[in-house]
Structure 1
C-alpha cells in the first residue's frame, strides 16, 4: 500500500470513528435557531466539534500513548480517574442517546412502539454484539458510513441549490458561544482522546513498511482529512437548517428536523431510507462505545474477562434505562456534565501540544486544577437554583456564558510558567 493510500484509508477510518448520532442531529437545529447568523454559529461549533478534536488527535500523534498519558503530568492517578470519567460519560450519556435517536427517527414515525421496548431490544442486541465480537460490525461500519455520507451530501446539495423564503431571525443572544457550547454535545473532543490512542496502537502494530518518524506524519495528515470531512458535513447541515427555518415550528426536535430536511430534499421514501441507515449507524456507535469501555476496564483489572462481561452488561442496562427518554431530555441532562468535563479535556489537549518548557508538571497541575474549580459553577446549575449562584457570575468573567474557566486558566498558565521560570533560575544560581 503506497503512502497516499495509507493516509486516506486511515483518514476514512478516523472519520467513521467520529461519525455518530450527534454529528447528524445537532448541526441542523443550530442553523434552524440561528437563521441569518448561521455563519457565526458555525464558527463556534466548528471550533469545539472539529478544531479541538483535531488537536486531540495531534496530541496523540505527539505523545504516541493512550488517553491516560494526557493526564499523567498532573499525576498517573489523575490520568486514570479522568479516563474512567470519560468512559462513564460516554456509556451513560452518549451511548443511550443513540437508542433515543433511533426511536425518534426510525421507529416512532412508523410504529406505535413504546420507547422502553425500543431501548430494551436495542441494548439487548448491543450486549450480544459486544460479547460476540466479529466481522459483522466491521462490515456495517465499512459500508454504512460512506452510504450515509453520500445521502447527506445529496441532501445538502439539493438544499443549498433549492429556493427558499427569508430566514427567521436568530433565537440566540450570542450565536458564536451557542455554537461553541453545542459542539460539546457531539462528544468529539472526548472522542479525539479515545480514538487517538486506538489510532496510535493500530499504526504502531500495522505491517506498513514505514519509519517510526513517518507514523506521526501519517496520523496528522489522516486526521486532517477526517476532520475536513466532518467540517463539510457540519457546514452544509447548519446552512440548510438555517435556509429552511421558516418551514417548521419553533419547537421541532433535532431528529424531526433532520428527517424533515430529508423529506424536503429526497422525498418521503428518501427520508425513511435515511432513518434506517441512521439507526444502523447509531447501533454500530453504541456497540463501539460498549466494547471500548469494556476493553478499558478489562485492561484496568489485569485483562479480566469477567470484568469485560460485567462492564458490557452494566453499560447495556444503563442504555436501556436512559435510552428510553427522548433525545432532548438526554441532551439537556448531558449539558451539565459536559460543562464540567470539557474544560478539563480542552486544557489537557492544549497543554499536551505545547513544548515541554511551557507545560511542565507544575503548569499542568495549575491549569487543570483551575479548569476543574471554575467549571464547578456550570455543573452546579443542575443541582442548585441559578439565582443562588448569582454572586459567582458577578465576579467570574464569561461565567454567565458557561465559559468562566477560560480566563482564570489562561492567567493560571501564565503565572505557573513565571513561577517555574523563577524557580529554575534560582536553582541554577544556587
Structure 2
C-alpha cells in the first residue's frame, strides 16, 4: 500500500509539473489583476476550463489506455485523426512547446540580463531545447525525472512566493473589476489558453506508461491509479492558481488591463522579494516551462510514433519537435498567444464534447451520436471564430442567443441536438463490437 501511495504521488506530481507551464504562470495573475476583489469568480471559470476539463479528459483517456485516437474513434476515423492531430500539434511544436522557451526567456532570463538584442533569445532557445531533448529521449525516465527531482523544487519556489504575498500583500485590491465582460467567461477563456485539457489525453499516455513500468499490469488498476494521480495534480494546480490569482489582484489598484501578461510575474516577484525575486522567478519559470516541455515533447512523440505504427521512431519525432519548437519560440510569447486563441476555440469544444460522450460511452449504442455531436460542434466553433475574426455581427449575435453563450459554451446545445439526431440515424457498423471497447 505504501508503494502504491508513493507511486501515485510521484506520478501525480509529475502530471502537475507537466501541466504547470508557461500559460499557467501567465494567466492567473492577469485574471487577478483584471478581476480585483472579484478574483474568486474568474478563478472559478479558470479552474473549470483548466483543471475540471483536464480531469475529464484524463478519465476518458485512462478508460482508453491513454490512446487519444481511441477517445475520439467513435466519431469516425476522419474526425479522430483531424482533432487528434490538431490537438497534439497545438500542445506540441506549433504552440505550447515553443511558448515554454519564449516564456522562460521573457519572464525568467530577460529581467536578470536585461535587453541584449536578438541573440540572447536564440541562445536561450538552443540551450532550453537541448536540455529538453536530453531529458526526453529516454521515455521511461521522463516521469521519474520530473516527479522526483524537478517538481519538489518548483513547488517550494512557488510556495515561498505565494506565502510571502499573502502575509505581506503588494498593494490594495480594487473593489471593482477592471473589465466589463463576464469574469467567469473570461476565466474560462484564459483557461482554454493554457491548453491543459488538450494536453491531458496525451499526458495521460505518459502517466499510464509510467504506471505500467512500475508493475501495475491490471487494466483496472492502471485506470484507478491514473485517476488518483490526476486528482493529486488537480489539487496542486488549484492551490497554486488560487495563490497566483490573489497575488495578481493585489496589483489591481496600480496597473491596468493593458499590462503585458509576461511582465506581471516580474512585477510581483520584484515587489515581494526585491532583486532576489528575479532569481526566484527565474527558477520558477525555468522549472515550470522545462517540465512542461519535457512532458509535451514526450507525449507528442508517443502520439506520432503510434499513428505511424512506429514507422516513425519516437526518438526521431523528439528531435524534430525540439528543432521546430526552437525556431517558433523566437516569435515571442505575445505572438504565440495571439495565434493560438482562434485555433484553440475551434479544437477545444469538439474535444470536450467527444470526451464527455466517451466517459458515458457504454450507454450510447450508436456511433452516429458521436459523429453528430462532433461535426455539429465543429461547425458551431468554426462559425464563432470566423464571425469574431471577420466581424460578422449577424452571425455573432445569432450565436450569442444560444444557451451558455455568455460563459463561452454556446456549442453545448447544438452538440446535444447533433448527438440526438445522430442517434436516430442507423449505424452501419457493428455496434456491439464498438461498445465493448468502453465496457
What TM bracket, shorter-length normalisation?
Answer: 0.7 to 0.9
Structure 1 contact 38–238 (Cα < 8 Å) conserved: yes
Q: Which deviates further from its counterpart, 147-156 or 135-144?
A: 135-144
Whole-Å separation in 1 of the counterparts to 2:204 and 2:313: 27
Taking structure 1 as reference, are residues 57 and 143 closer, same or farther at Cα in structure 2, changes over 3 Å only?
A: same
Gaps of 5+ in 1: 422-430
Structure 2 contact 380–411 (Cα < 8 Å) conserved: yes
Please give the per-residue CA displacement for 1:299-334, whole angstroms capped at 9, x wherever unaligned. 43343457853x445534543443223322221211
In structure 1, the partner of 2:77 is 76
Taking structure 1 as reference, are residues 394 and 212 closer, same or farther at Cα in structure 2, changes over 3 Å only?
A: closer
Structure 1 contact 301–307 (Cα < 8 Å) conserved: no
Structure 2 contact 98–329 (Cα < 8 Å) conserved: yes
In structure 1, the partner of 2:259 is 252
Whole-Å separation in 2 of the counterparts to 1:268 and 1:348: 48
In structure 2, the partner of 1:96 is 98
In structure 2, the partner of 1:267 is 274
In structure 2, the partner of 1:427 is none
Alignment partner of 1:173 is 2:176: no
Alignment partner of 1:67 is 2:75: no
Structure 1 contact 29–238 (Cα < 8 Å) conserved: yes
Q: TM-score, normalised by structure 2?
A: 0.85
Alignment partner of 1:14 is 2:15: yes
User: Post-superposition shift, 1:249?
Assistant: 4.7
Q: Which deviates further from its counterpart, 114-123 or 173-182?
A: 114-123
In structure 2, the partner of 1:206 is 214
Structure 1 contact 105–259 (Cα < 8 Å) conserved: yes
Count of residues paired in the alignment: 416
Alignment counterpart, residue 228 of structure 1, candidates 225, 232, 235: 235
Secondary structure of 1:393's aligned partner: helix
Mapping of residues 21-420 of structure 1, within 5 Å: 21-90=22-91, 91-111=93-113, 112-115=115-118, 117-119=120-122, 121-123=124-126, 126=129, 129-130=132-133, 133=137, 139=145, 142-163=148-169, 164-167=171-174, 169-170=176-177, 171-208=179-216, 211-304=218-311, 308-309=315-316, 311-312=317-318, 314-358=320-364, 360-380=366-386, 384-386=389-391, 389-396=392-399, 397-398=401-402, 402-417=408-423
Structure 1 contact 21–98 (Cα < 8 Å) conserved: yes
Q: Which deviates further from its counterpart, 54-63 or 356-365?
A: 356-365
Structure 2 contact 368–419 (Cα < 8 Å) conserved: no
Structure 1 contact 352–359 (Cα < 8 Å) conserved: no
Taking structure 1 as reference, are residues 295 and 79 closer, same or farther at Cα in structure 2, changes over 3 Å only?
A: same
Whole-Å separation in 2 of the counterparts to 1:221 and 1:306: 31
In structure 1, the partner of 2:4 is 3
Structure 2 contact 69–84 (Cα < 8 Å) conserved: yes
Taking structure 1 as reference, are residues 131 and 36 closer, same or farther at Cα in structure 2, changes over 3 Å only?
A: closer
Whole-Å separation in 1 of the counterparts to 2:301 and 2:185: 35
Q: TM-score, normalised by structure 1?
A: 0.87
Taking structure 1 as reference, are residues 245 and 77 closer, same or farther at Cα in structure 2, changes over 3 Å only?
A: same
Structure 2 contact 102–330 (Cα < 8 Å) conserved: yes
Secondary structure of 1:332's aligned partner: helix
